[in-house]
Structure 1
Protein backbone atom coordinates (compact mmCIF):
# COMPACT_ATOMS: atom_id res chain seq x y z
CA UNK A 1 0.00 0.00 0.00
CA UNK A 2 2.80 2.44 0.84
CA UNK A 3 4.59 1.54 -2.37
CA UNK A 4 1.48 2.45 -4.36
CA UNK A 5 1.19 5.74 -2.48
CA UNK A 6 4.84 6.52 -3.14
CA UNK A 7 4.44 5.65 -6.80
CA UNK A 8 1.46 7.96 -7.17
CA UNK A 9 3.25 10.70 -5.27
CA UNK A 10 6.04 10.52 -7.84
CA UNK A 11 4.03 9.74 -10.99
CA UNK A 12 1.49 12.56 -10.99
CA UNK A 13 3.82 15.47 -10.11
CA UNK A 14 6.35 14.02 -12.55
CA UNK A 15 3.73 13.86 -15.29
CA UNK A 16 2.75 17.45 -14.54
CA UNK A 17 6.35 18.67 -14.70
CA UNK A 18 6.99 16.73 -17.91
CA UNK A 19 3.86 18.11 -19.58
CA UNK A 20 4.64 21.66 -18.52
CA UNK A 21 8.22 21.36 -19.77
CA UNK A 22 7.12 19.79 -23.09
CA UNK A 23 4.49 22.45 -23.69
CA UNK A 24 6.95 25.27 -22.95
CA UNK A 25 9.42 23.75 -25.43
CA UNK A 26 6.89 22.97 -28.17
CA UNK A 27 4.81 26.16 -27.86
CA UNK A 28 7.20 29.02 -27.02
CA UNK A 29 4.51 31.62 -27.69
CA UNK A 30 2.28 30.35 -24.89
CA UNK A 31 2.48 31.94 -21.48
CA UNK A 32 3.53 29.93 -18.43
CA UNK A 33 -0.02 30.04 -17.06
CA UNK A 34 -1.37 28.54 -20.31
CA UNK A 35 1.10 25.66 -20.10
CA UNK A 36 0.30 25.07 -16.42
CA UNK A 37 -3.44 25.09 -17.12
CA UNK A 38 -3.15 22.56 -19.97
CA UNK A 39 -0.80 20.36 -17.90
CA UNK A 40 -3.19 20.43 -14.94
CA UNK A 41 -6.08 19.36 -17.14
CA UNK A 42 -4.05 16.60 -18.74
CA UNK A 43 -2.92 15.19 -15.38
CA UNK A 44 -6.49 15.38 -14.08
CA UNK A 45 -7.71 13.48 -17.15
CA UNK A 46 -5.09 10.77 -16.67
CA UNK A 47 -6.05 10.50 -13.00
CA UNK A 48 -9.74 10.18 -13.90
CA UNK A 49 -9.08 7.48 -16.49
CA UNK A 50 -6.94 5.48 -14.05
CA UNK A 51 -9.53 5.82 -11.26
CA UNK A 52 -12.32 4.74 -13.59
CA UNK A 53 -10.27 1.79 -14.79
CA UNK A 54 -9.53 0.60 -11.27
CA UNK A 55 -13.22 0.93 -10.37
CA UNK A 56 -14.18 -1.19 -13.36
CA UNK A 57 -11.62 -3.84 -12.40
CA UNK A 58 -12.99 -3.96 -8.84
CA UNK A 59 -16.61 -4.17 -9.98
CA UNK A 60 -15.86 -6.91 -12.52
CA UNK A 61 -13.95 -8.97 -9.94
CA UNK A 62 -16.95 -9.19 -7.56
CA UNK A 63 -19.92 -11.46 -8.18
CA UNK A 64 -22.19 -9.35 -6.00
CA UNK A 65 -20.83 -5.85 -5.58
CA UNK A 66 -23.18 -4.85 -2.76
CA UNK A 67 -22.75 -7.86 -0.47
CA UNK A 68 -19.45 -9.27 -1.76
CA UNK A 69 -16.73 -8.74 0.86
CA UNK A 70 -14.02 -11.10 -0.28
CA UNK A 71 -11.94 -13.68 1.59
CA UNK A 72 -14.99 -15.52 2.94
CA UNK A 73 -16.06 -12.74 5.24
CA UNK A 74 -19.77 -12.29 5.77
CA UNK A 75 -21.70 -9.37 7.16
CA UNK A 76 -22.22 -11.20 10.46
CA UNK A 77 -18.55 -12.00 10.97
CA UNK A 78 -17.44 -8.48 10.05
CA UNK A 79 -20.00 -6.93 12.42
CA UNK A 80 -19.00 -9.20 15.28
CA UNK A 81 -15.32 -8.47 14.63
CA UNK A 82 -16.02 -4.75 14.60
CA UNK A 83 -18.01 -4.89 17.82
CA UNK A 84 -15.34 -6.95 19.58
CA UNK A 85 -12.71 -4.36 18.58
CA UNK A 86 -14.78 -1.58 20.11
CA UNK A 87 -14.99 -3.31 23.53
Structure 2
Protein backbone atom coordinates (compact mmCIF):
# COMPACT_ATOMS: atom_id res chain seq x y z
CA UNK A 1 0.00 0.00 0.00
CA UNK A 2 2.88 2.35 0.69
CA UNK A 3 4.54 1.74 -2.68
CA UNK A 4 1.61 3.15 -4.76
CA UNK A 5 1.37 6.06 -2.33
CA UNK A 6 5.06 6.83 -2.72
CA UNK A 7 4.82 6.42 -6.49
CA UNK A 8 1.92 8.86 -6.70
CA UNK A 9 3.68 11.28 -4.38
CA UNK A 10 6.58 11.36 -6.84
CA UNK A 11 4.73 10.96 -10.15
CA UNK A 12 2.17 13.76 -9.96
CA UNK A 13 4.42 16.56 -8.64
CA UNK A 14 7.05 15.42 -11.14
CA UNK A 15 4.50 15.57 -13.94
CA UNK A 16 3.49 19.06 -12.86
CA UNK A 17 7.12 20.22 -12.80
CA UNK A 18 7.74 18.71 -16.23
CA UNK A 19 4.62 20.35 -17.68
CA UNK A 20 5.44 23.76 -16.20
CA UNK A 21 9.05 23.54 -17.44
CA UNK A 22 7.98 22.46 -20.95
CA UNK A 23 5.38 25.21 -21.17
CA UNK A 24 7.90 27.87 -20.10
CA UNK A 25 10.22 26.71 -22.87
CA UNK A 26 7.50 26.27 -25.50
CA UNK A 27 5.67 29.52 -24.71
CA UNK A 28 8.18 32.10 -23.43
CA UNK A 29 5.59 34.88 -23.66
CA UNK A 30 3.39 33.20 -21.02
CA UNK A 31 3.79 34.22 -17.41
CA UNK A 32 4.76 31.74 -14.70
CA UNK A 33 1.17 31.87 -13.42
CA UNK A 34 -0.16 30.87 -16.85
CA UNK A 35 2.28 27.95 -17.08
CA UNK A 36 1.37 26.81 -13.56
CA UNK A 37 -2.35 27.01 -14.32
CA UNK A 38 -2.08 24.97 -17.52
CA UNK A 39 0.27 22.49 -15.82
CA UNK A 40 -2.21 22.05 -12.97
CA UNK A 41 -5.02 21.40 -15.41
CA UNK A 42 -2.96 18.85 -17.33
CA UNK A 43 -2.09 16.96 -14.13
CA UNK A 44 -5.75 17.06 -13.05
CA UNK A 45 -6.75 15.63 -16.42
CA UNK A 46 -4.24 12.78 -16.05
CA UNK A 47 -5.55 12.06 -12.54
CA UNK A 48 -9.14 12.01 -13.84
CA UNK A 49 -8.28 9.61 -16.66
CA UNK A 50 -6.44 7.26 -14.27
CA UNK A 51 -9.30 7.36 -11.74
CA UNK A 52 -11.84 6.63 -14.46
CA UNK A 53 -9.73 3.78 -15.78
CA UNK A 54 -9.41 2.19 -12.35
CA UNK A 55 -13.17 2.54 -11.79
CA UNK A 56 -13.93 0.88 -15.11
CA UNK A 57 -11.48 -1.91 -14.29
CA UNK A 58 -13.18 -2.53 -10.94
CA UNK A 59 -16.66 -2.47 -12.43
CA UNK A 60 -15.70 -4.89 -15.21
CA UNK A 61 -14.06 -7.34 -12.80
CA UNK A 62 -17.11 -7.64 -10.52
CA UNK A 63 -20.44 -9.18 -11.43
CA UNK A 64 -22.19 -7.10 -8.75
CA UNK A 65 -20.11 -4.19 -7.48
CA UNK A 66 -22.12 -3.71 -4.29
CA UNK A 67 -22.13 -7.31 -3.05
CA UNK A 68 -18.86 -8.69 -4.50
CA UNK A 69 -16.05 -8.77 -1.95
CA UNK A 70 -12.38 -9.47 -2.57
CA UNK A 71 -10.47 -12.63 -1.58
CA UNK A 72 -13.41 -14.71 -0.42
CA UNK A 73 -14.64 -12.20 2.12
CA UNK A 74 -18.34 -12.41 2.93
CA UNK A 75 -20.61 -9.85 4.47
CA UNK A 76 -20.52 -11.73 7.77
CA UNK A 77 -16.74 -11.80 7.97
CA UNK A 78 -16.45 -8.14 7.01
CA UNK A 79 -18.99 -7.16 9.68
CA UNK A 80 -17.13 -9.30 12.23
CA UNK A 81 -13.84 -7.63 11.27
CA UNK A 82 -15.40 -4.16 11.47
CA UNK A 83 -16.89 -4.83 14.90
CA UNK A 84 -13.62 -6.26 16.23
CA UNK A 85 -11.74 -3.15 15.04
CA UNK A 86 -14.11 -0.90 16.99
CA UNK A 87 -13.53 -2.79 20.26
The question of a shared fold, defined as TM-score above 0.5 by the shorter chain, is answered with yes
1:69 aligned onto 2:55: no
Report how many aligned residue pairs link the two structures: 87
> Following the alignment from structure 1 to structure 2, what is the Cα–Cα distance between the partners of residues 67 and 45?
31
Q: 1:71: Cα distance to partner?
A: 1.5
- 1:57-78, Cα deviation, whole Å (9 max, x unpaired): 1111111111001212111222
TM-score (norm 2): 0.92
Task: Tell me the residue number matched to 1:24.
Answer: 24
> Following the alignment from structure 2 to structure 1, what is the Cα–Cα distance between the partners of residues 16 and 86?
43
Unaligned runs of 5+ in 1: none
Unaligned runs of 5+ in 2: none
> Following the alignment from structure 2 to structure 1, what is the Cα–Cα distance between the partners of residues 31 and 75?
56
Task: Tell me the residue number matched to 2:59.
Answer: 59
What is the alpha-carbon root mean square deviation over aligned residues? 1.2
TM-score (norm 1): 0.92
Task: Tell me the residue number matched to 1:35.
Answer: 35
Q: 1:84: Cα distance to partner?
A: 3.5
Q: 1:82: Cα distance to partner?
A: 2.6
